[in-house]
Amino acid sequence: MKTFYVYILTNINKTVLYIGFTDDVIRRIQEHKNKKYEGFTKLYNVNRLVYFEKLDTVEEAMRREKQLKKWNRNWKNDLINKQNPDWKDLSQNSDKKLTDLEFLEMLFKNVNN
């Protein structure tokens, strides 16, 4: 069964938030970090993963992404603070040599520390 992720990225100053969803969080975060595509995250240098959650279906992920995008900034900040009070870049220790499973385990470990 495929897993889906809703995630929130920010910039170095934490002034901008980007919300997205994917079925391949590793690939997607690397694309943001490498500024692969023109758009919002490239323009505002939004490449720090500060929040994510797992969902079971694409429909749930799409619904959750839309829900979070409608939230005001304070609600989004509260959500991030509950999981990641220091707003650490949860992917900062990522290494392309890690397997997908190892990378995901590292992400969950970072969230729980």
Output the domain CATH number for residue 96: 3.40.1440.10
pTM over cut 0.95:
no
Interatomic CA distance for residues 30 and 53, integer angstroms: 17
Residue 53 is given by DSSP the state: E
Backbone φ and ψ of 50, nearest 5°: -115, -10
Encoded tokens for 40? 């919002």
Q: What is the pLDDT of residues 22-58, one digit of tens each?
A: 998 888 888 888 878 888 888 888 989 999 999 999 9
Structural domain for 76, as ranges: 4-112
Total count of domains within the chain = 1
Q: pLDDT by residue (tens digit) across 63-83?
A: 999 999 999 999 999 999 999
